[in-house]
Structure 1
Amino acid sequence: MVDVKFNELGLNEKVLRAIDDLGFEEPSRIQAEVIPVLLQGFDAIGQAQTGTGKTLAFGAPILSKFERSESNKINTIILTPTRELAIQVNDEIVRIAKYSRVRMLPVYGGQPIERQIRALKSGVDIVVGTPGRVLDLIRRGLIDLSHIKFLVLDEADEMLNMGFIDDIEEIMKNSNKERQTMLFSATMPDEIKKLTKRYLKPDNKHIAIIKNTMTVSTVSQYYYEIKQKDRFESFCRILDVDEPSSAIIFCKTKRGVDELVEAMQARGYSVEGMHGDMNQNQRLNTLRKFKEGNLEFLVATDVAARGIDVENVTHVINYDLPQEIESYVHRIGRTGRANREGIAYTLVTPREYMTLKQIEKVTKSKIKRKEVPTIDDIFLAKYKNITGRVKETLDTEDYKRFVPLAAELDEEFNLVDVAAALMNILYNKEVSFDYTENDIGADAGFVRLFMTVGRMDRLNPKILLQFFNETARLNKEDVGDIDILEKFSFVDVSERVVDNVMKNCTGKKLCGRKVKLEVSTGRK
């Protein structure tokens, strides 16, 4: 965690406005340490794990220093290992450039090159692309890097693993020698170190965010795989089934907190929010109500939740994944205190699944999958709750004053029907969402695998499917998108068969070549 604010890093006002609109309260550790170095003009090596906010770490200073050249030349080239990451990085920089007049273009294989050529000819400031496609466009004379100001290698170790080292070197040789170079990598193998010695200036800065050994408490951890469009409904279903008595819900941004609180209050939840835009008195008042049990739910950002010490929190719910893995540990530590049991739930979309696996790896914990509740599950949970309360009331004398009224109803109606009608009233009052579909659970998650066989080996989808069937007994339903490139391929396989594929297919021969398989970090 850091105590510095974005407006203390030296970024220009347009970039700060965009970051504020995104709702981030403070920089991650890699952002806080790298941004000032890049703004000073140094070449930099940023070493940090996936999921730490590296795109903003290089995107914000580039945009702060951006000046369009009179000759309309490309200002910045950003290289990524996969098309998914190229799209993701491009989209993120577009958001940071909300108030900056910057023309962006992602370039990658699998998309008609003509469209990319037209965009390049009309003028582009920042190109985000995969090494193969960028090199192709350089050789065609469509990308000229002789005047670029910035060159970024994102996920450099992944590009090395995928055999891009020669392409990267050729691109760097074609680039302006006076450029500022930024290299980001989770690990620093020898080949990357050699690359930095050859192509980065001697006074470059190496900023390593050391991965702390993080372990988590005895909190029971689960995740729900959801569809992005169903995030709020999935969340309501979870609350309706679990009925937590006291829960802290985490959002990534201030705007996210405000929107979730408003949506929950509209559905009758006892909830308030806490984030950095609220003054100290507001926050203290909200926290007091939560501690005294006058609020069931507290929605907060990571920054606002610091120092919260409430013993009776039964649930922590990660409505959004945190910006940093370390924050996950701090979040779930808010429950399971004073030797009580605690539950932590995390909502993830299929593209966020790899970040979740990274959290598991770093925290050395197991986060178990749970299915998003169906309407049938909610009905059963509410039924058990209502009947339990009825039985408790029958053990007291409190209900006796209603016996004459029940006797009157008995003259006109069947008392079983009366009881059912009363239960229906209670059920409708307690269900928070107007559910229409019984099951909205996300489709089984897919994991993207990288494999060292490609077009040059005469691989095609039919041969690949046959290989998976023979070696790992996979069905067609277990295989999603297949992207076969010149020297390697990507394939999406069902999350539940990943271990089976890795175990049975690695080292086997496909099209005359031994297969090496790895989980790709490009799709997050």
Structure 2
Amino acid sequence: MKLPGFKELGVSEALTALLKGNGIVQATPVQAEAIPPLVQGLDVIARAKTGTGKTLAFLLPILDKIRPDRPVPQALIMAPTRELALQITEEARKLTRQSDIKILAVYGGQDVEKQLRKLEGGRHLIIGTPGRLLDHMRRGTLALGGVNMLVLDEADQMLHMGFLDEVESVITAIPSRRQTMLFSATMPEPIKQLAASYMKQPLDIVIKSGSPIPLDNIRQQVIECTDRTKEEALKALIERDRPYLAIIFCRTKRRVSKLSDALREAGYDCDELHGDLSQNKREAVMKTFREAKLQLLVATDVAARGLDVEGVTHVFNYDMPLDVDSYIHRIGRTGRAGGKGLAITFASPRDRAGLEMIERGISQRLERRRFEKGEFGEAKFATGTGGGARAGEAREA
């Protein structure tokens, strides 16, 4: 079934044209289901996993309804982590470059005084984490009396992280005559109770998907090697494919730093992303990567949660993911918005059990190649221990 375009769903011509300019012309299932009732002003509960396009599903109706001539917060989006808050903010800023809508991200690890000055300047859309939002409310620096649209994004994660009390405190400060949108991968009982308490006859939308990421857009491959030859194999693949943008996942911060140093020393445009970096440094690295001024980003799983960058052509699992969810999350950084991607996982003999676990989890046997040295020391990738279904072709870089 062909999914509709955004204009058919009720999105304004201005936003539809902006999306088209970014190569986004067709809605995803969650967008097709959620946008029309949200445009009408209904409360909506949408159960959809990460990577299904839910951010645009709530941003587009909100941005079309905000009145720039009213210099007060009119919409509030709550997210469980600063990374997700930043990701939503990036998306919103892309869509408001040609408008007078002012946006502010409010999260921990940021300069509070800087946030205060921006709030005083009049912001229409606030995107933030529950703790920092509550902090501003208690200081008397954030008034939510003009908010008429509220989004709770990844509500189940907010529950798991123990933020439900803070979330309720923020909700009760917003006028009850509002439109409320709740997005969540799962619906545990406390989230159901939250919806029952604070939403008005919400429309319940469930997007059924075997995996949060459309894996058919991603060619998946395993490179059999040893721990000792892994770095050499990675460099050979980078030379072979010349990725436009690539994310390389390592298991620990120490591994990230060590590999990042080695790649920089070899002359690659490379930087690292992990939990020990300051918030300013993390934002600077992400900005450089998003603007494609950086070819390779070496990251840990935690740092890359919620990482959504257009144009990532390759994902390299330098270290084997710990579980199937981590594998799907990692490789889902490529092949987004209908593009094609290549995901390569390095596996040493001791990774066999982990590899089998991933293959069982995605119900697919992965294509294998074996890293070897040729007669003159050149890198070769021979057929590995078993074949595998190819899912799409890697996009030309």
CA–CA separation in structure 1 for the residues paired with 2:369 and 2:94: 33
Does the CA contact (< 8 Å) of 1:63 and 1:100 recur in 2? no
CA–CA separation in structure 2 for the residues paired with 1:361 and 1:163: 32
> TM-score of the superposition, structure 2-length normalised?
0.60
Partner of 2:36: 36
Partner of 1:491: none
Partner of 2:146: 147
Taking structure 1 as reference, are residues 114 and 222 closer, same or farther at Cα in structure 2, changes over 3 Å only? same
Q: Which runs of 5 or more structure 1 residues have no equivalent in the other structure? A: 225-232, 241-299, 301-317, 332-343, 349-358, 385-431, 434-524
SS at match of 2:21: helix
Does the CA contact (< 8 Å) of 2:68 and 2:100 recur in 1? no
SS at match of 2:7: helix
* Aligned ranges 1:140-289 → 2 under 5 Å: 140-202=139-201, 204-212=202-210, 221-222=220-221, 237-238=240-241
Please report how far the alpha carbon of residue 323 of structure 1 lies from its aligned counterpart in structure 2 after TM superposition.
3.6
Please report how far the alpha carbon of residue 14 of structure 1 lies from its aligned counterpart in structure 2 after TM superposition.
1.7
CA–CA separation in structure 2 for the residues paired with 1:158 and 1:75: 25
* Offset from partner CA, 1:91-150 (integer Å, 9 cap, x none): 011112232221111111111111111100111111111000001101111111111121
Please report how far the alpha carbon of residue 346 of structure 1 lies from its aligned counterpart in structure 2 after TM superposition.
2.3
* Offset from partner CA, 1:206-225 (integer Å, 9 cap, x none): 111012489989x983279x
Does the CA contact (< 8 Å) of 1:157 and 1:188 recur in 2? yes
SS at match of 1:6: coil
Q: Which runs of 5 or more structure 2 residues have no equivalent in the other structure? A: 224-235, 244-312, 314-330, 346-357, 383-395
Taking structure 1 as reference, are residues 213 and 107 closer, same or farther at Cα in structure 2, changes over 3 Å only? closer
Partner of 2:60: 60
Partner of 2:49: 49
Taking structure 1 as reference, are residues 179 and 360 closer, same or farther at Cα in structure 2, changes over 3 Å only? farther
Q: Which has the larger radius of gyration?
A: 1
Taking structure 1 as reference, are residues 238 and 178 closer, same or farther at Cα in structure 2, changes over 3 Å only? same
CA–CA separation in structure 1 for the residues paired with 2:19 and 2:126: 21
Residue 121, structure 1, aligned to residue 134, structure 2: no
Taking structure 1 as reference, are residues 216 and 4 closer, same or farther at Cα in structure 2, changes over 3 Å only? closer
Structure 2 counterpart of 1:210, one-letter code: K
SS at match of 1:153: strand
Structure 1 counterpart of 2:342, one-letter code: Y
Give the paired residue count.
273
CA–CA separation in structure 1 for the residues paired with 2:52 and 2:376: 36
Please report how far the alpha carbon of residue 67 of structure 1 lies from its aligned counterpart in structure 2 after TM superposition.
1.3
CA–CA separation in structure 1 for the residues paired with 2:124 and 2:107: 17
CA–CA separation in structure 2 for the residues paired with 1:58 and 1:377: 57
Higher-helix-fraction structure: 1
Structure 1 counterpart of 2:334, one-letter code: L
Please report how far the alpha carbon of residue 18 of structure 1 lies from its aligned counterpart in structure 2 after TM superposition.
1.6
Partner of 1:321: 334
User: Which of residues 343, 347, 361 is equivalent to 1:346?
Assistant: 343
Aligned-pair identity (%)? 38
> TM-score of the superposition, structure 1-length normalised?
0.46
SS at match of 2:156: helix
Structure 1 counterpart of 2:95, one-letter code: I
Taking structure 1 as reference, are residues 128 and 114 closer, same or farther at Cα in structure 2, changes over 3 Å only? same
CA–CA separation in structure 1 for the residues paired with 2:145 and 2:97: 27
Taking structure 1 as reference, are residues 143 and 320 closer, same or farther at Cα in structure 2, changes over 3 Å only? closer
Structure 2 counterpart of 1:164, one-letter code: F
Structure 2 counterpart of 1:160, one-letter code: L
Partner of 2:104: 105
Please report how far the alpha carbon of residue 347 of structure 1 lies from its aligned counterpart in structure 2 after TM superposition.
6.8
Does the CA contact (< 8 Å) of 1:181 and 1:200 recur in 2? yes
* Offset from partner CA, 1:341-366 (integer Å, 9 cap, x none): xxx93279xxxxxxxxxx97973447
Partner of 2:264: none
SS at match of 1:147: coil
Taking structure 1 as reference, are residues 106 and 321 closer, same or farther at Cα in structure 2, changes over 3 Å only? same
Partner of 2:80: 81
Partner of 1:11: 11
Does the CA contact (< 8 Å) of 1:15 and 1:100 recur in 2? no
Partner of 1:464: none
* Offset from partner CA, 1:27-63 (integer Å, 9 cap, x none): 1100111011100110101110110011111001111
Taking structure 1 as reference, are residues 366 and 198 closer, same or farther at Cα in structure 2, changes over 3 Å only? farther
Partner of 1:314: none
CA–CA separation in structure 2 for the residues paired with 1:220 and 1:323: 12
SS at match of 2:115: helix
Give the alignment's Cα RMSD to 1 decimal: 4.1
CA–CA separation in structure 2 for the residues paired with 1:56 and 1:377: 52
* Aligned ranges 1:441-460 → 2 under 5 Å: none
* Offset from partner CA, 1:414-454 (integer Å, 9 cap, x none): xxxxxxxxxxxxxxxxxx99xxxxxxxxxxxxxxxxxxxxx
Please report how far the alpha carbon of residue 2 of structure 1 lies from its aligned counterpart in structure 2 after TM superposition.
3.9
